[in-house]
Amino acid sequence: MSRKLKSDAANVKRRKNNRAEYLKYQASDKRKAYRAELNAEARKRGIYGERESKGVDILHNDKTGKIKGVGSASKNRAAGARKGAKIRKKKS
């Protein structure tokens, strides 16, 4: 078997393992409760089911876990990316 075929087989196996881990994580009671909280807040604010089309998202504080309000979905994702960058810099 060539090196490329071995590499491809390893990548397929890795992807399957990653998907299984992700599904297991999302099925945990903690994640279900988190999604339910965000959905309830979206219903309360009248944006449930329209978050993608309006480009808004429920903002939350990562330290306290409390909901901060409604804001831009792209900024909400960017906040997580900035947080990850800070953590990576600290480890270096």
Instruction: Render pLDDT for 7-59 as a digit per residue (tens, 0 to 9).
Output: 777 777 788 788 888 899 889 999 899 889 888 988 998 888 887 777 788 88
Check if the beta carbon of residue 7 is closer than 8 Å to that of residue 33: no
Model confidence at 5: pLDDT above 70: no
Amino acid at 57: D
> What are the distances in angstroms from CA 65 to CA 21, 33, 34, 60, 86?
23, 12, 9, 6, 19
Helices (H), ranges, the chain: 3-26, 29-45, 51-54, 73-91
For 72-89, how does the pLDDT look when each residue is reduced to its tens digit (9 = 90+)? 877 777 766 666 565 555
